[in-house]
Amino acid sequence: MPRKWNVHDLDAAGKTVLTRVDFNAPLSGGKVADDTRIRASLPTIRALQKQGAKIVLASHLGRPKGERNLEYTLAPVAERLSALLGETARFVPDCVGASVSEAVERLEPGGVLLLENLRFYPGEEANDPEFARQLASCADLYVNDAFGAAHRAHASTVGAAQMLPPAAAGLLMERELTYLSKAFDNPPRPFYAVLGGAKVSDKIGVLRALMDAADAILIGGAMAYTFLVALGRQVGNSLVEPDKIETARDLIVQSMMKRAPLYLPIDHIIAKELSPDAEAAAAWRDTIPEDCEALDIGPATLEMYALILRRAKMIVWNGPLGVYEVDAFAGGTLGMARALGEMDAETIIGGGDCAAAVEKAGAADRMTHVSTGGGAALEFLEGRELPGVAALTDKM
């Protein structure tokens, strides 16, 4: 992937910079419940302030489906952002129009303005050229720091970027691209990948891509049971994708041919049903009763995986290894998070549930990089072009 312009390449002094951020933060009682994504873009905001730019921030929050729904207003985010910055981040309850133009006009160099939720407007997700033009009309320059939205071709990630060249990556975006690219651009060896999640169908692309890059792939989550059935194993009532059994068998053969072995669980945490009150038990491979399903990797698998990974110089992890939201089935995922925190290796966490898991395990600050974009990270690891990244200006 070609290198992109970043905020330090811009001459932003006295100019207005439309900055796409990912402030899609959970709210509770009219307050921000988790400010991780807001804090992640503070370095970019402060870098632009240092240059003397006027900073206009644009973000989505939730899924209001193109309608003004104040349940998803960004007003509480502006309040939390102000507290983090130690100064007022102004808020305007629109994204386009006269009120935005007037607010930008009043903004001083170094000042910060947050627009209302982009997804209140149907033109955002439709990448409507007129909505993109109106967004861009308030600014001189464009920065995208929202890696978590980079896999969406929306007006704020593509259309506006194309209207404000040069379009630059924010510091968070640049960091994401640097670390995730490392998995394919001469990674330190051995390089191992840990993949989890519910469905093989969600991970076919990333499995094939990593077989060409990784030295081994360790599988967990419900997707493991489709692979085990493909090998003729008995998995009880565990989740299996019958139409992907042949695909799983082909992937196993490919992994052998490419000398990137797939490791599968040797024991499991099982229950008759998925519920917080379920009676959980451990079971070895091929001993899962027909009326039980596997809902987590077992302790022997976790120990085996940790031993394998201790040899690694670099590890990428994407997808939980069990139903970690339920305490009885969280041991594998949280145990993996703690184990990676103790590894003498570069550890790159592929966002989404894994990012939440390493935070829950208290291990996030011991990882080399925790991605802010679950879907975007997965598509990047598959080798797909992300529209929001493609729209940024290449360095010559």
Catalytic amino acids? 37, 199, 352, 375
> Alpha-carbon distance 214 to 193, whole Å?
7
Find out whether 144 and 46 touch, Cβ atoms under 8 Å.
no
**What DSSP designation does 394 have?**
B
Cis amide linkage into residue 129, ω under 30° from 0:
no
Find out whether 218 and 308 touch, Cβ atoms under 8 Å.
yes
Find out whether 103 and 116 touch, Cβ atoms under 8 Å.
no
Strand order in the sheet with 16-20: 89-92, 112-115, 54-58, 16-20, 141-144, 167-169
Phi and psi, residue 381, nearest 5°: -65, -25
**Residue of 263, 246, 146 lying closest to 210 (CA atoms):** 263
> Alpha-carbon distance 219 to 305, whole Å?
9
